[in-house]
Amino acid sequence: MWLRDDCIEQTCTDGQTCVAGACVAAPDEDPCNLTRLEDGARPEGCATMDAGAEQDAGPGMDAGDVDGGLDAGDEDASTPDAGAPDAGPSDAGPGPLDIYNVVFVTSSAHSAGELGNLASADAICETRATEAGLPDPASYVAFLSITGASAITRLAGSRGWVRPDGLPVMDEPADLQAGEMFYPIAVTETGAQPTVTTVATGTRSDLSVGATCGDYTTLAGNVTAGNAYDGTRYFTDRRFGFAPFEPATACNEPAAIYCFGTGRDVALAPPPPPPGAGGAHVSSAMPAVGPTGIAAMDAACGAGYVAFLPDGANAALDRLGGFAGPWVRPDGVVVAENITQLAGERLLAPPLQTAIGLYVGDGRIWSNERTPDTAGGFTCTDWTDAGGGMARFSYLGRARSFYTRAVSRACGPQGDRVICLSTGAVY
């Protein structure tokens, strides 16, 4: 899914270009970035180009699935797929990397206690961006908090961030506080899936200053760290809600860094859902176990949707009515492209919105200890028995192992939200 797909029928005025289906101000054109003239000449003062060569402002990648893919349940030993969409310039005009700031997670890992200071961490970001051929490499800053200053302050004055593969991450820094995040950062500077997904941030889930290893000068203690595949709250602090189930990250433990490009101020929104897509959201209500069983869970989702939970002999996947996807959030973000991604718990983005588009940055969801393609498990006697037994819950915000990375809870009487997926096309 390319951001440029929605510009085919869009007409913009002079001085504008289309990105993600919207007209935005076109960047100043660099005469040295023009294609070869008919006589083979280049504008005076510009370097020559070899025959047939092209300039690319972003990492060149073959068109392919935006999801690099992981084996089910494997977050720290991933390998990229055959490639990711090229988000650089094309004949259609400037691509997302030419318009927006770029954010990535470093392919390299570093002990937080040995970083020394923010300037050293920024230098790592600049080096990775330079090696990958990303625009404005000197503009990148490390998303790290220090004593008295949250990492979010380092993004002040900038707006609109996309990943190196062109997918949107967020519009304004304040959106992170409000739980409004599009796709997880989840790719390195080259657009590949990261091999290290623990990311040092020194930043708590509410974006306040967390543990910083003495502002990155000591190997003793722990650093607050997030997970590159997670959405708001957990992308900065993976232990939020799961403590003490998630392991702490030691100051001497190798971890990646988030690197944010800065200096551009362009509003960003995801493209509209593709025709024929299904819907995905989380329930506003928090249904509890009771006499009507799974029907109460489904009712919380609304007509045409089912709760993503097993029931009787049916696995969660069996309840989707044969619909094969994709499933899209109300804001246009693709949660899963197909059944395979659901079965493998490899979402492209967590379903962080209700049916009317309200963002839910955190919270519990009914879940199961068995994979989505397996029936049974701890289901409170098919969601009917609130008097005893155990169930499982997970947390919103996770895109990997979002279903089985669960915590035990009593069957009743407390309710929780449910993930809701449509059984057919809604767009």
- How high is the pLDDT of residue 147? 97
Neighbours of 83 (CB within 10 A): 18
Specify the range with the lowest mean pLDDT, choosing from 43-52, 88-97, 271-280, 342-351: 43-52
Q: Which residues, including other chains, have CB under 8 Å from residue 351's CB and lie 6 or more apart? A: 280, 281, 282, 329, 335, 396, 419, 420
- Looking at per-residue pLDDT, the higher value among 59 and 259 belongs to 259
The pLDDT score that the predictor gives to residue 117 is 97
For 326, phi and psi rounded to 5 degrees?
Answer: -75, 165
pLDDT at 138 over 60: yes
Least confident of 67-71, 115-119, 189-193: 67-71
Give the strand pairing for 22-25 and 16-19. antiparallel
For residue 241, name the pLDDT band (cuts at 50, 70, 90): low
**Residue range 28-65, pLDDT digits in tens:** 434 443 333 333 343 444 443 333 333 333 333 333 33
CATH code, 1-269: 3.10.100.10
- Stretch 197-212: mean pLDDT: 94
The pLDDT of residue 116 is 97
Long-range contacts of 405-414, Cβ-Cβ distance < 8 Å, separation of 24 or more: 406/367, 406/368, 406/369, 407/242, 407/245, 408/378, 411/289, 411/380, 411/385, 411/386, 411/387, 412/288, 412/289, 412/290, 412/380, 412/385, 412/386, 412/387, 413/288, 413/289, 413/386, 414/286, 414/288
Task: Write down the domain spans for the chain.
Answer: 1-269, 272-427
Lowest mean pLDDT among 59-73, 149-163, 169-183: 59-73
Task: Please report which confidence band the pLDDT of residue 23 belongs to, taking 50, 70 and 90 as the band edges.
Answer: low
| Element housing 420 (H / E) | strand 419-422
| pLDDT interval class at 22 (50, 70, 90) | low
Buried b (16+ CB within 10 A) or exposed e, 217-229: eeeeebbbbbbbb
Averaged over 76-88, what is the pLDDT?
41
Is pLDDT at 354 greater than 60 in this prediction?
yes
Which band of pLDDT confidence, cut at 50, 70 and 90, is reported for residue 187?
very high
pLDDT (tens digit per residue) in 363-381: 889 998 888 999 988 999 9
Closest residue by Cα to residue 379 from 294, 307, 318, 317: 294
Q: What is the mean pLDDT of residues 12-23?
A: 51
Handedness of CA 398, 403, 407, 413 (dihedral sign): positive
Q: pLDDT tens digit string along 260-313?
A: 999 999 999 988 999 999 999 999 999 999 999 999 999 999 999 999 999 988
**How does pLDDT run across 406-425, given as a tens digit for each residue?**
788 899 888 999 999 999 99
Per-residue pLDDT at 24:
52
| Phi, psi at 20, each rounded to 5° | 55, 35
List of long-range contacts for 383-386, beta carbons under 8 Å, 24+ apart: 383/289, 383/290, 383/293, 383/294, 383/296, 383/297, 383/309, 383/311, 384/289, 384/290, 384/291, 384/292, 384/293, 385/289, 385/411, 385/412, 386/288, 386/289, 386/290, 386/411, 386/412, 386/413
Q: What is the pLDDT, as a whole number, of residue 69?
A: 35
For the segment(s) 272-427, the CATH number from 3.40.50.300, 3.10.100.10, 3.40.50.720, 3.40.190.10 is 3.10.100.10
Question: What's the whole-model pTM score?
Answer: 0.78
pLDDT at 42: 38
Instruction: Let me know if the fold of 1-269 is the same as that of 272-427.
Output: yes
Output 77 or 234, whichever has higher pLDDT. Answer: 234
Neighbours of 285 (CB within 10 A): 15
To the nearest whole percent, how much of the chain has pLDDT over 70?
A: 76
